């Protein structure tokens, strides 16, 4: 059934902007992205939105809906009262390009700082072998769609621009953890995760886990185990001695 939806959408660019009110006809069963597309088609042809799959799989349509980081294509209008005004704003942690589109290149820079897996020698028959249980352990982290909603919500960078230089953020902590769990990888990322990626700045608020559309247990399965491994390394007597004499 069709009804008139009241929307408040942030319009502007890097120099500033404001919330603008619209009323648009929508139907039950539609999502916020449908409503914005209808706005584009009927009233605001220049409204900038980033999207691609409309199926919750490309991670492009991230924004804040009534202040909560969400995918616009996966947020059903039926989640809201029909009389309610739905407010859509760009992700706050990243610089605005225009309207609802933000510049997420911060994340690409953090991705570049992460060493790839470097595999150890092959077995005598030329093959490499991994236990199925080791493959499965990090499978959850590979479902990440790089929507960066977890990065957006994390207060370490959301409220403190200065921290961005020293903090990779939850999306990359799961990547650190994933690679660290790789049974054939020879890198030890623990020092890097703690120092360059700022793992110690995470105080386990779990907001990242709450907004992840893939339901990845970012805090419990990646960040906390990674923190534990960093602590193990710190109190490893050989590492302690090496630090003392300047070898490690």
Compute CA 31 distance to the chain's CA centroid, rounded to the nearest angstrom.
21
User: Going residue by residue from 140 to 179, which x/- string records binding to ligand SF4, judged by CB under 6 A?
Assistant: ----xxxxxxx-------------------xx--x-----
> What is the 8-class DSSP label of residue 126?
S
Place of tokens 């493959």: 135
When CB distances are held under 5 to 8 angstroms depending on the partner's kind, the choice from ligand F3S, ligand FES, ligand SF4, none that residue 149 binds is ligand SF4
Q: Does 100 bind ligand FES (CB under 6 A)?
A: no
Comparing CB distances to ligand F3S, the nearer of 49 and 62 is 62
188-214 burial, b at 16+ Cβ within 10 Å, e below that, comes to: ebbebbbeebbbebbeeeebbbebbbb
β partners of residue 88: 9, 65
Q: Does 207 bind ligand F3S (CB under 6 A)?
A: yes
Q: Does 187 bind ligand FES (CB under 6 A)?
A: no
Among 69, 90, 170, 198, binds ligand F3S (CB under 6 A): 170
- Is there a contact between 76 and 162 (Cβ–Cβ < 8 Å)? no
Q: Does 208 bind ligand F3S (CB under 6 A)?
A: yes
Q: Does 60 bind ligand F3S (CB under 6 A)?
A: no
Among 26, 145, 202, 216, binds ligand F3S (CB under 6 A): 202
- Is there a contact between 107 and 148 (Cβ–Cβ < 8 Å)? yes
């Amino acid at each position: 059934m069709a009804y008139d939806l009241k929307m408040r959408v942030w319009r502007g660019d890097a120099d500033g902007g404001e919330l603008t009110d619209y009323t648009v006809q929508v139907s039950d069963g539609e999502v916020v992205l449908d409503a914005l597309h209808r706005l584009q088609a009927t009233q605001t042809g220049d409204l900038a939105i980033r999207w691609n799959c409309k199926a919750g799989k490309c991670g492009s349509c991230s924004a804040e809906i009534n202040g909560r980081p969400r995918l616009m294509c996966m947020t059903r209008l039926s989640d809201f009262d029909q009389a309610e005004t739905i407010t859509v704003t760009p992700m706050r942690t990243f610089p605005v390009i225009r309207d609802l589109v933000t510049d997420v290149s911060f994340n690409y820079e953090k991705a570049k700082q992460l060493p790839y897996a470097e595999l150890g020698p092959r077995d005598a028959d030329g093959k490499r072998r991994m236990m199925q249980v080791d493959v499965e352990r990090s499978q959850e982290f590979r479902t990440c769609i790089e929507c960066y909603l977890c990065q957006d919500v994390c207060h370490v960078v959301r409220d403190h621009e200065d921290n961005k230089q020293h903090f990779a953020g939850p999306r990359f902590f799961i990547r650190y953890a994933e690679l660290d769990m790789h049974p054939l990888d020879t890198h030890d990322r623990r020092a890097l995760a703690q120092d360059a990626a700022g793992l110690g700045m995470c105080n386990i608020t779990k907001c990242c886990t709450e907004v992840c559309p893939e339901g990845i247990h970012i805090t419990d399965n990646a960040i906390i185990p990674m923190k534990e491994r960093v602590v193990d390394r710190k109190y490893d007597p050989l590492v302690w001695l090496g630090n003392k004499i300047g070898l490690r």
